[in-house]
Chain A
């Protein structure tokens, strides 16, 4: 099984130096790309069926194709890597940045070349101190070796790259909020359109992609679109995916597997099933803002289409497992308290609705629930649905709740009728 993104990451977790990375074929993809025109590189990325790995799964080549190109295009454009990774239960980008920072840098250089950007930023969340140190060391190596700076490898193309470490807030992962943070402002999301591809950072055309997305690019260039499609098990996209699991499984970790590996294989084979004494009751397939799935869904493929058909989203592909001794109402309370705290406060349904939701769930957990509370919670899931809010934060917050009300409704009812949480002891 091919694992292009992680095969060279060392077991002890130390990063590959530039020399080590080059010895494993590093920067070959860039050398190949620089001999092609940007339009030719874009065609390869489109043909590879790479889809964004940040959660939404938008086709990467198509996203890039919206950037104005040619003689009449704005002279200043930007490329940004979204390394905010604050989705609870998500820990995949950390592995890629800490283990092989040059892979990310190479992917970003190729991508920036494709859209004609001369300035790029890695937006990294505050808590990733080790990742920040390693990125800075790798950037220094890349500049000294001529992979960054003026006239890269004699191609005539120039690119600068800088690290921005964030100062917190989940909303920074939303790409337009991230751009406001990079401009030194409050990270409120922006209206779309205009989309960042046309008017992004400082009003210039900007591409924002997830860390894992960029890490795929060097391999697609080095080995081709056909190879990239061949290593996937999904009809809807190429490549591998970093899947993970946390919670009371035997072996919580991250694994690079073909895109479209089944949910059952990930949980039973790779995560090793549940710890002794625990049964799997439900799981969030791709971070905190995805709908619960149950063991009945083990045969579905973890890709964008099949998880959507099952009523959830693949999201970040990092699974949070809920065992039979964990309270579904308590888990929803934890999630909604997080989302309520992280609401940027810009639009009313989110700013008011999420704390209201969390308060109702707290009442249920403390034995103060009332029969009408289930209707109130259901109302919130509609009130904060897509189309009623400014961005995707509140609709995402409703995904675990609406599915918990579907699959674990008896737990909500029991909390209300018995005036207690039976999971607490």
Chain B
């Protein structure tokens, strides 16, 4: 069988199927399955939902209703790195707006956008739980705290 057009790789499929053994039904693995698809593909495309449906024994639209509910499941393509800037209350009090402007000016994109070279997607995120070191942001899984606007260019330079 020619599987070359599949968006869910065999490795990803095996990882998803390994979730089933300790769950009462396959649908219970839906969120973790979406996470696995995203780990391999960076985002969850319509084609991926269609391929997931028989694996999870769910309808495509049922999976989509879960995928679109959660803000860390991406239903649009994202860049190689995702910047999550905390815009919640403690960071707001401590000067989040200046950090927002610094990222915007540096990359020439605002929230919800991806740089033309596909390097960064810029998103707001609720409280990162590091309020004693506000303002804060994440790049992928790396946390940066006690931010000053002038640090932004140096931080982002680490990501290719």
A residues with a Cβ closer than 8 A to B are 85-91, 93-94, 125-130, 160, 162, 164-170, 181-187, 202, 244-248, 252-254, 284, 288, 318, 320-323, 326, 330-331, 334-335, 338, 341-342, 344
Contact = CB atoms under 8 A, between A and B. Distances in A.
Interface in B65-105: 65-66, 69-73, 84, 87-90, 92-94
B28 A90 contact: no
Contacts, number: 128
A129 B141 contact: yes
A128 B126 CA distance: 13
B113 interface: no
B66 A184 contact: yes
Given A252-B131, A344-B69, 15 more contacts: A86-B127, A162-B22, A168-B73, A170-B126, A184-B66, A187-B69, A246-B90, A248-B94, A288-B89, A288-B127, A318-B131, A323-B93, A334-B87, A338-B88, A338-B89
Contacts of B66: 184-186
Contact of B89 (A85, A89, A130, A181): A89
Nearest to B68: A186
A128 B93 contact: no
B29 to A, nearest CB: 6
Interface of B: 22, 24, 27-32, 34-35, 65-66, 69-73, 84, 87-90, 92-94, 125-134, 138, 141, 143
A86 B128 CA distance: 8
Contact of A169 (B29, B70, B90, B129): B70
Most chain A CB inside 10 Å of its own CB: which residue of B30, B31, B125: B31
B45 to A, nearest CB: 17
A86 B71 CA distance: 13
B130 A91 contact: yes
B129 A184 contact: no
A85 B34 CA distance: 22
A88 B127 contact: yes
Given A89-B90, A248-B93, A169 B27 contact: no
B90 A88 contact: yes
Given A168-B71, A170-B126, A244 B132 contact: yes
Contacts of A338: 87-89, 126
B93 A247 contact: yes
Contact of A125 (B28, B129, B138): B129
A87 B130 CA distance: 12
Given A127-B138, A184-B66, A87 B30 contact: no
A342 B88 CA distance: 12
A187 B65 CA distance: 11
Contacts of A253: 132
B130 to A, nearest CB: 6
Contacts of B84: 127
Given A89-B89, A168-B71, A185-B66, A246 B131 contact: yes
A342 B34 contact: no
A184 B89 contact: no
Closest 3 CB pairs of A and B: A184-B30, A246-B131, A88-B88
11 contacts: A89-B131, A165-B35, A167-B72, A167-B73, A168-B72, A185-B27, A245-B132, A246-B131, A322-B93, A331-B93, A338-B89
A166 B31 CA distance: 8
B132 A86 contact: no
Nearest to A93: B129
B32 A184 contact: yes
Nearest to B67: A167
Contacts of B143: 129-130
B130 A288 contact: no
A169 B71 contact: yes
B98 to A, nearest CB: 13
A329 to B, nearest CB: 13
Contacts of B90: 88-89, 246-247, 320
Nearest to B134: A246
Contact of B31 (A85, A167, A247): A167
A89 B127 contact: yes
A19 to B, nearest CB: 28
Given A88-B89, A184-B27, A252 B132 contact: yes
B100 to A, nearest CB: 12
Given A127-B138, A246-B90, A181 B31 contact: yes
Contact of B28 (A126, A184, A320, A331): A184
Given A167-B35, A247-B90, A94 B129 contact: yes
A413 to B, nearest CB: 22
- Which of B89, B132, B134 has the most CB atoms of chain A within a 10 A radius of its CB? B89
A182 B73 CA distance: 15
A90 B27 contact: no
B41 to A, nearest CB: 15
Contacts of B130: 91, 94
A284 B130 CA distance: 17
Contacts of B22: 160, 162
A247 B30 contact: no
Contacts of B127: 86-90, 288
B134 to A, nearest CB: 6
A248 B132 CA distance: 10
